[in-house]
Amino acid sequence: MVISRNGIVAAESPLAAQAGVAMLERGGTAADAAVAANAMMGLVAPMSNGVGGDLFAIVYEAKSGKLYGLNASGWAPAGLTIEFLKGKGFQAMPQRGIHAVTVPGAVDGWQKLLERFGRKKLAEVLAPAIRAAEEGFPATEMVSGLWAMNVDLLRGNENAAQTYLVSDRPPRVGEIFRNPDLAWAYRQLAAQGRDAFYRGEIARRIVELSKRHGGAMTTKDLVDYSSEWVEPISTTYHDWTVYELPPNGQGIAALEMLNLMENFPLAQFRFNATRTLHVMIEAKKLAYADLLRYIGDPRASQSPLPVAGLLSKDYAKQRAKRIDMDKANCAVEAGDPPRSGGDTIYLSVVDREGNMVSLIQSNYEDFGSGLVADGTGFALQNRGALFSLDPSSPNALAGRKRPLHTIIPAFMQRGDLRIAFGIMGGWNQSQAHAQFVANVVDFKMNIQAALEAPRFTKKTFGGCDVMMECRIPGNVRAELQAKGHIIEVRGVFSSQMGGGQGVARDFAAGVNYGASDPRKDGAAIAELPPEK
């Protein structure tokens, strides 16, 4: 771990962490640092995030001890409906292109974070990323590899190719890449704030792109958009309280997983033991079946989502009885809870006062829709790909509705300890969060060890397939296969398991901790002590 009495920024790029630390060293807060780091990430890892995507955050305010949630996920254009797409011949939700584009929420989220919890103006916070966009940065190993995997997508859109390809190829490892168009967009934001994106020249260019490709996005869809402050949801896991954001995100599945896992003595089973992994995998299947059956955008639902029921300990106790310790369940169905009223980046920050930000931001799949508006320097997300064209689904497409979201920030606390953490990777995220929490709580790992520990992931909702890193012992994998699990063995630190970051604070000692997942290029970096 990185350990310091001063602030720490943990991000998936050292440049992003340094941009955040620069804000801390200039008297900024954790919120200032988080936005600065996120802006840099949008430059250096453009396939994974950027101002064309969405954002979620959990903020811990040290002086009040209160948690705040921010849902900056965008809605579908008013005219993007099931009927609209079926009229164009679509029988399933498009996964790329203009019809997968929803209103990007990140910029509005940045402004709300800074206005409520920051000390810096947006212009100062964006300055490091603007400078790096103009002067260029060397492409890292992981990012260069991701870039190369998406060449055909980028070549499919003239603006995307001009923005992201160098002589019709991706930048090589160590090659300097510049994005002057993104510097222009950031300067628009620095001068005009969020209105530059939703009302100004950037908005005009987004709408023009939509018209050119036959999309439904209008100026009004952008003008009317606003992110919202939400109350985090939580559960207890033994003597810790774990927080996620409420739907339309998948975080509720992580909490339900933990409630299911709590019915088994995992600490006695031991870390990486056959029984431990079997329980976790089976809990994942049960929780995700409920997620797919019940969760969508609560604002667009005709009846209240059963959030309280899904988080009920009694419901978890009943659902846990479905876990057969001798056999994997390959056909899990959703339960009946009691009713009551891909590519992503994650970063976390703690400042010297103990304020903490857990922030996640994404385009959904690499380079999102694959479309770039003229001269803007960023790809528009394809988050709408997650909608369903089944009218009976809680996640059915409708205008001004937000899709079920994969990206989730998290937070946990016990006594004087606070941990802000997250692990990206599409449907990997809730199950990875639950594994991280178990590593800390059941197996007494520090936050760096908890991130480094071998993980499993099951990206599908049905069947008995599951991926595992090869560091999980061979005899354990064999015993799991004997129970019916179909295991695909991945590498030592596989990108399929996502990558995470975390910061922690011991308020009794006044000491901060930072951690960065080796599955990413990133780092946890501490600020220098302030001059007296």
With a CB cutoff of 8 Å and minimum separation 6, the contacts of 2 are 8, 10, 513, 514, 515, 524, 525, 526
CA 469, 471, 477, 480 dihedral sign is negative
Say yes or no to pLDDT of 348 above 80.
yes
Catalytic residue flag (residue 406): no
| C-alpha–C-alpha distance, residues 99 and 84, integer Å | 10
Whether residues 294 and 416 share a domain: the answer is yes
- pTM of the full structure: 0.96
Kindly state whether residues 221 and 234 are assigned to the same domain.
no
Low-confidence winner among 38-42, 226-230, 288-292 (lowest mean pLDDT): 288-292
* Mean pLDDT, residues 487-495: 96
Mean pLDDT of 57-72: 98
| Alpha-carbon separation of residue 228 from 68, 108, 111, 364, 423 (angstroms) | 11, 9, 12, 20, 23
Chain segment 69-127, per-residue pLDDT in tens: 999 999 999 999 999 999 999 999 999 999 999 999 999 999 999 999 999 999 999 99
Asked, for residue 392, whether it belongs to a domain, the answer is: no
Domain presence at residue 393: no
Q: Whole-angstrom Cα distance, residue 432 to residue 413?
A: 18
Tell me which residue has tokens 């480094």: 452
In the predicted structure, residue 154 carries a pLDDT above the cut 90: yes
How many Å apart are CA 93 and CA 269, to the nearest integer? 43
The C-alpha atoms of residue 7 and residue 474 are separated, in whole angstroms, by 41
| Statement to judge: residues 156 and 183 lie in one domain | yes
Which residue stretches of 262-330 are H helix?
Answer: 266-269, 274-294, 307-310, 313-320
351 belongs to a structural domain = no
Q: Which two tokens stand for residue 34?
A: 């988080």
Answer whether residue 391 is part of any domain: no
What is the count of structural domains for the chain?
2
One domain for residues 305 and 432 = yes
**CATH number of the CATH domain containing 445:** 3.60.20.40
Which residue segment(s) compose the domain that 204 sits in?
A: 12-51+69-226+361-386
H-type alpha helices, 50-157: 82-87, 106-117, 122-135, 141-148, 151-155
Query: How far apart, in whole angstroms, are the C-alpha atoms of residue 182 and residue 375?
Result: 8
- Is residue 198 included in any domain, yes or no? yes
Report DSSP letters for 381-429, one per residue: P-GGGG-BS-TTSTTB--TT-PPPB----EEEEETTEEEEEEE-SGGGH
CA nearest to 144, candidates 522, 521, 501:
521
How buried is residue 12: exposed, middle or buried, by Cβ count under 10 Å (0-12/13-18/19+)?
A: buried
pLDDT confidence of residue 151: 96
- Give the Å distances, CA to CA, from 49 to 52, 105, 194: 8, 12, 18
Classify residue 347: in a domain, yes or no. Answer: no
Q: 318 and 466 share a domain?
A: yes
Sign of the Cα torsion 257, 262, 264, 266 reads: positive
In a domain, 373, yes or no: yes
In this structure, the answer to whether residues 209 and 331 fall within a common structural domain is no
pLDDT attached to residue 339: 61
Are 204 and 271 within one domain?
no
**Same domain as 252, residue 128:** no
Q: Are residues 156 and 32 in the same domain?
A: yes
Q: Judge if 118 and 170 occupy the same domain.
A: yes
Measured distance CA(124)–CA(388) in Å, rounded? 41
Residues 159 and 256 in one domain: no
Catalytic pick among 344, 376, 406, 457: 344
The verdict on 252 and 308 lying in the same domain is: yes
Poorest-confidence range of 57-61, 154-158, 296-300, 329-333? Answer: 296-300
Q: Is 531 within a domain?
A: no
| Burial bucket for residue 146 (CB in 10 Å: 0-12, 13-18, 19+) | buried
Contacts of residue 212, Cβ cutoff 8 Å, sequence gap at least 6: none
